[in-house]
Amino acid sequence: MSVLVFVEHDGGEPTEPALQALTFARGYASGDPVHSLAVGLEPDGLGAYGVGTLHVAEHDVFGSYAPAAVAQAVVELAGRLLPTAVIAAGTDAGNEVMAHVAAKLDLPLAANCVEATPGDPARVTRVRWGGSLLEEAALHAPVKLLTVQPHAVAAIEVPGEGPAVERFAPVLGDADLTVRVVGRTGESAGGVSLSDAKVVVSAGRGAGSPEGFAGVEELAGLLGGAVGCSRAVTMAGWRSHTDQVGQTGTKIAPDLYIACGISGATQHMAGCKGAKAILAINVDRDAPILSSADYAVIGDLHEVVPAISAEIRKARS
Amino acid sequence: MRMLVCVKRVPMTGGKIVLTEDAQAIETRHLGFTISPHEECGVEEAVRLVEQHGGESVVLTLGPPEAVEQLRDAMAIGADRAIHLETDVEEWDPQATAAAIVDAIRADEAASGPFDLVFFGNEAADSGNYQVGTRVAYALGRPVATGLRGVAVGDGTVRCEQEAPGGRDVYELPLPAVVTVKEGLNLPRYPSVPGRLRAQRKPVTVSSPSRPPSRLEKLRLVVPEGQGKEATILGHGPDAAPAVVEVLRELGVLS
């Protein structure tokens, strides 16, 4: 009995969601060996996360991202190890690779789990609506395929030695080589990115127009933060979709999120639940966002936001 | 060119999710419904590609009888006809959904020729399973790229752009292919009144596949804790500014 974990890494550095998936898998395995699979390079430091054996798949195609080829390596290794479960992080790439694995094996896949209990069937709790709702489900399969919702569990180290490393060259078919990254485009121009910003200042329909963002931009500038917006704003064509905070936009995790004239639809809150603190500025005292926010100012953003900027300038002079 | 777009009917949840008494579904009595946002962009993209290259765009859904509203919405912005795989209230798991869609695609292709591209949303807004498009691609033996915010059709190929940290990764797939897309791919047009009227007359093929047992079996839904926090009111109007700056200082974001 064992559990196999696909570990994403960035040039040999395991990603944080991958370490969280390893921690999750260790709990699921409850003492059984944890194997991990990485492609291309050998990620560092996995011994501290309870990995007994690290399998490194080697092939020229792994020089760039190739989801079907990665999935075939997972399938081949799973065929040899016969694990009770195959687990990956519920990231874009983790979910993509596991969907390929599930399709190749014709097995069910439970994506973005926050809890799982082994058994036949296994019981899982998984995320719906970008985290606004949870689903308890039974997973009926000889091998359980799961991805782990990022940040649902913290990555926790355990005492342990470096894992045994085994290299293998998976047998890949033409179809596995067809889907691979062949280029790169749209390199970001710099500036504070929405997903990394320490402060994000957003406005929603309450901004009233594209020009209505002037005050929000000024405040974000003063705080060294990024400007965001709600889905209503991008659907109206007022701002680019790259500025959208939400379930179908960017997920943010700033120290402070200032949401101006945003009612707080679940679609929006799914994108900002990673914020350490939320300040809502809204004319409506009963807006749903006030039950998710830490602080609130009741008032029109066009009056309140410039007053805050002026107060910051005063405090700094 | 022939384009197929698979869409899902989902409720517009608004500010707070309330469940039915048996915790099997969202209480939707007071909610409107829409096409899941990623797929709405898929419809727009397919319609644009047919405007550009000629051909036909078809929209497909697996869902209850009311999901015909979403098929009409898609036809109002330009899809030519629709396929409705009608279900009862029970939810279908991703494997069952994919299998029913594959059967429908095979039947349509036998009559009308292959689809050059089959569009899906990257994940449905409600269930978020991230897999139906990929399963359909494997069953049809076609390549699949997921999570796309750029799709351009060339000579027998499709150039795909996938969001990645700091830029976009580019794929080139041979046609026919399957793509799953994300909101931001385009800005879907608003349906015009003549478009809506035309949509009423466009053909919808209805069939009722039978639902196999779920292998990912929903037991119940739970609203997570953490909603229902009480925000500290710092004040009203511009007069609240000093209290806000005090909070900024406490949070350490005022350098």
Q: Picking from A34-43, A49-58, A189-198, A274-283, which range would have the lowest pLDDT averaged per residue?
A: A189-198
Q: Does domain B2-207 have CATH number 3.40.50.620?
A: yes
pLDDT tens digit string along A83-129?
Answer: 999 999 999 999 999 999 999 999 999 999 999 999 999 999 999 99
A140 and A206 share one domain: no
CA dihedral B226, B36, A148, B90 (to 10 degrees): 90
What residue type is A90 in one-letter code? G
Cis peptide before A43 (omega within 30 of 0): no
Beta-carbon separation of A288 and B229 below 8 A: no
What pLDDT, on a 0 to 100 scale, did the predictor assign at position A276? 94
Contact B139, B101 (CB under 8 A): no
Beta-carbon separation of B138 and A104 below 8 A: yes
List chain B residues with CB under 8 Å of A180. 171
A23 and A116 share one domain: yes
pLDDT tens digit string along A229-251?
Answer: 999 999 999 999 999 999 999 99
List chain B residues with CB under 8 Å of A287. 15
What residue type is A4 in one-letter code? L
A113 and A219 share one domain: no
Is the pLDDT at B167 greater than 90? The verdict is no
Contact B60, B74 (CB under 8 A): no
A231 and A144 share one domain: no
Instruction: Tell me which of A9, A72, A96, A112 to substitute to probe the interface with B (most B C-beta atoms closer than 10 Å).
Output: A96
Beta-carbon separation of A95 and B130 below 8 A: yes
Q: Is B64 helix (H, G, I), strand (E, B) or coil?
A: coil
A70 and A162 share one domain: yes
Beta-carbon separation of A299 and B13 below 8 A: no
Bridge partners (DSSP) listed for residue A244: A229
State which residue of chain A sits closest to B186, comparing Cα positions: A241
Q: Measured between alpha carbons, how far is A187 from A170 in angstroms, rounded to an integer? A: 32
Chain B closest-CA separation from residue A310 CA (Å): 8
Joined together, the tokens standing for residue A13 give 């550095």
With respect to residue A132, please indicate whether it lies within any of the assigned structural domains.
Answer: yes
Total domain count for chain A?
2
Joined together, the tokens standing for residue A255 give 């120290």
Beta-carbon separation of A295 and B145 below 8 A: no
Mean pLDDT, all residues of chain B: 95
Beta-carbon separation of B125 and A247 below 8 A: yes
Mean pLDDT, all residues of chain A: 95
Is the pLDDT at B4 greater than 80? The verdict is yes
Q: Number of CB pairs < 8 Å for A and B?
A: 269
Contact A170, B254 (CB under 8 A): no
Beta-carbon separation of A108 and B216 below 8 A: yes
List the domain range (segments joined by +) for residue A53.
3-178
State which residue of chain A sits closest to B187, comparing Cα positions: A235
List chain B residues with CB under 8 Å of A271. none
Beta-carbon separation of B128 and A111 below 8 A: yes
What pLDDT, on a 0 to 100 scale, did the predictor assign at position A188? 65
What pLDDT, on a 0 to 100 scale, did the predictor assign at position A52? 93
Q: Which residue has the tokens 């007071």?
A: B30
Beta-carbon separation of B251 and A138 below 8 A: no
Chain A closest-CA separation from residue B124 CA (Å): 8
Is the pLDDT at B66 greater than 90? The verdict is yes
Return the H-helix or E-strand segment holding B81.
Answer: strand B81-86
List chain A residues with CB under 8 Å of B158. none
A167 and A75 share one domain: yes
Cis peptide before A306 (omega within 30 of 0): no
What pLDDT, on a 0 to 100 scale, did the predictor assign at position B204? 98
Q: Measured between alpha carbons, how far is A28 from A6 in angstroms, rounded to an integer? A: 15
Q: Which residue has the tokens 């639940």?
A: A273
A128 and A219 share one domain: no
pLDDT tens digit string along B148-165?
Answer: 999 999 999 999 999 887
Across residues B219-225, what is the average pLDDT?
A: 93
What residue type is B203 in one-letter code? P
DSSP line for A156-197: -----PPPEEEEE-----HHHHHS---EEE-----S--TTT-
Q: Measured between alpha carbons, how far is A264 from B15 in angstroms, rounded to an integer? A: 6
Where residue A252 sits, what CATH number does that domain have? 3.40.50.1220
Where residue A22 sits, what CATH number does that domain have? 3.40.50.620
A246 and A134 share one domain: no
Number of CB atoms found within 10 A of residue B60's CB: 25
What pLDDT, on a 0 to 100 scale, did the predictor assign at position A192? 77
B9 touches chain A (CB under 8 A): no
List chain B residues with CB under 8 Å of A65. 169
With respect to residue A189, please indicate whether it lies within any of the assigned structural domains.
Answer: no
Choose the closest CB to B244 out of A107, A294, A297: A297
A281 and A229 share one domain: yes
Q: Is A234 helix (H, G, I), strand (E, B) or coil?
A: helix
Q: Measured between alpha carbons, how far is A12 from A150 in angstroms, rounded to an integer? A: 20
Closest listed residue to residue B204, CA positions, set B36, B101, B68: B68
Angle in degrees, 0-180, between the axes of helices B241-251 and A301-316, rounded to the nearest 10: 60
pLDDT tens digit string along A192-226?
Answer: 789 889 999 999 999 999 999 999 999 999 999 99
Contact A223, A175 (CB under 8 A): no
State which residue of chain A sits closest to B216, comparing Cα positions: A139
User: What percent of chain A clears pLDDT 90, i.e. is strictly above it?
Assistant: 91
Is the pLDDT at A162 greater than 90? The verdict is no
Number of CB atoms found within 10 A of residue A235's CB: 17
Contact B238, A304 (CB under 8 A): yes
A222 and A92 share one domain: no
A34 and A169 share one domain: yes
Q: Considering only residues 138 to 177 of chain B, which have any Cβ-Cβ distance to chain A shorter than 8 Å?
A: 138-139, 141, 143-147, 150, 161-164, 166-174
With respect to residue A185, please indicate whether it lies within any of the assigned structural domains.
Answer: no
List chain B residues with CB under 8 Å of A289. 15
State which residue of chain A sits closest to B229, comparing Cα positions: A291
What is the longest distance spanned by two Cα atoms in chain A?
Answer: 68
Choose the closest CB to B168 out of A184, A223, A249: A184
A8 and A53 share one domain: yes
